[in-house]
Amino acid sequence: MREVEFAAKIAYCSIEELSAAQKQLVEKAKNACDRAYAPYSGFAVGAAVELDNGEVVLGANQENVAYPSGLCAERVALFAAAARYPQAAPLRLAVAAKKTVASPGGQPAFTPRPVTPCGACRQVFSEVERRYGRSMEILLYGTQETAVIANGEQLLPLSFSM
């Protein structure tokens, strides 16, 4: 028998500690939240993927009453990028989330802590990295802290592959 131990390396920082390029991508992800269709969850997620050709492609979650027919913002952005620019490799992906329904006495607001991607999105990150032969930095925004992750493998070390 052999045992294998996995560890993820995730850096947490304030938005001010990000590079100018990282901040700009996070802002685009935050703005993409306004494109979400989230009438059931009241939870808007926006994503922005920066490609090696200089393009930035946005995505937003799209819900459907026939769950699970909707799609997460991360996959919307990555699939749209691959459809529009199939030869361009993703360099980094930023994700932001906010509640679209205000709490009593409050306003709709971005989440204080980063929202982590679902398992299906993590598997897509892994496949995208294999497809293009390079890592994709992942930025998960929260108002109190932002997570900076070097690549998809940090989020899904035992991804499915053939």
Instruction: Please write the tens of the pLDDT for every residue from 98-137.
Output: 998 766 666 779 999 999 999 999 999 999 999 999 999 9
Q: Is residue 82 part of a domain?
A: yes
Task: Assess whether 63 carries a catalytic annotation.
Answer: no
Instruction: Inform me whether the pLDDT recorded for 78 exceeds 90.
Output: yes
Q: Do 48 and 93 form a contact (C-beta atoms < 8 A)?
A: yes
**18-47 b/e with 16+ CB inside 10 Å = b?**
beeebbebbebbbebbeebebeeeebbbbb
In angstroms, rounded to a whole number, what is the distance separating the alpha carbons of residues 134 and 8?
18
Q: Is residue 96 part of a domain?
A: yes
Q: Is residue 6 part of a domain?
A: no
Q: Is residue 148 part of a domain?
A: yes
Q: State how many domains the chain has.
A: 1
Q: What tens digit of pLDDT does each residue of 134-156 get?
A: 999 999 999 999 999 999 999 99
**What is the extent of the structural domain holding 143?**
22-154
Q: What tens digit of pLDDT does each residue of 80-101 get?
A: 999 999 999 999 999 999 998 7
pTM: 0.94
Six token digits for residue 87: 């030869």
Q: Is residue 133 part of a domain?
A: yes
- pLDDT at position 4 is 87
DSSP 116: P
Q: H-helix or E-strand containing 94?
A: strand 90-99
Q: What tens digit of pLDDT does each residue of 23-42 get?
A: 999 999 999 999 999 999 99
Q: Is residue 50 part of a domain?
A: yes
Q: How confident is the model at residue 161 (pLDDT cuts 50, 70, 90)?
A: confident
Q: Is residue 48 part of a domain?
A: yes
Q: Which of 74, 129, 137, 153 is catalytic?
A: 74
Q: Which residues pair with 44 in a beta bridge?
A: 98
**For residue 4, which amino acid is it?**
V
Q: Is residue 28 part of a domain?
A: yes
- pLDDT at position 108 is 74
3-state secondary structure 1-68: CCCCCCCCCEEEECHHHCCHHHHHHHHHHHHHHHHCECCCCCEEEEEEEEECCCCEEEEECECCCCCC
- pLDDT at position 23 is 98
Mean pLDDT of the chain: 94
CATH number, residue 98 = 3.40.140.10
- pLDDT at position 103 is 65
